[in-house]
Amino acid sequence: MIQIAIISNPKKLSGRLTNFFAGSPAYHIGFVDTVGGKFYDQNLLFRRRVWPHYPIEMVALYHCPAPITTADLELWLDTDEDWYSPLDYLAFGIRKLFPSFKGSYKGAICSEKVEKILVVHGWKSPFGGFTPSPTDFETVLKKSK
């Protein structure tokens, strides 16, 4: 079964930065194959890690709002060409200073990748063309619980 994992840590630098820019220490998001024990996320590239990868107290799991399978995520691993750089993180961060800015540079941050995969699989994104943060996802996913 595929779920969405949102990673939070108010003590970690990325959690503190995300809290400043997005209002929550939820700094990372990805897909979890709970049966196969795999975590799929965007880091520098889209990747697969062994699950659990983060301490359980840092993780919130949510129902996946689109019908995504492990095979779908494996295909993304084989074909994805998005990348992530510090400029993408900075571009995302300046949206707080410039609200009309969409929040993306040339690459894809983790929440942008999750949104893209969900939309390809039929999900209607509620983010209106703006790059969502893991906090934005958490707000939306909590409502669907």
Identify the H or E element spanning 62: strand 59-63
Whether residue 25 has pLDDT greater than 80: yes
Q: What tokens appear for 113 in the block?
A: 């990748």
Residue 17 Cα distances to 2, 89, 90, 128, angstroms = 28, 10, 10, 24
Mean pLDDT of the chain: 87
Give CA 44 to chain center in angstroms: 13
DSSP-H helix ranges across the chain: 13-22, 70-79, 86-93, 110-120, 134-143
pTM (predicted TM-score):
0.86
Are the C-beta atoms of residues 95 and 58 closer than 8 Å to each other? no
76-123 pLDDT, tens per residue? Answer: 999 998 877 666 566 666 666 666 655 555 668 889 899 999 999 999
Tens digit of pLDDT for each residue in 27-48? 899 999 999 999 999 988 899 9
Q: What is the model's pLDDT at position 130?
A: 81
Average pLDDT rounded to a whole number, residues 10-17: 83
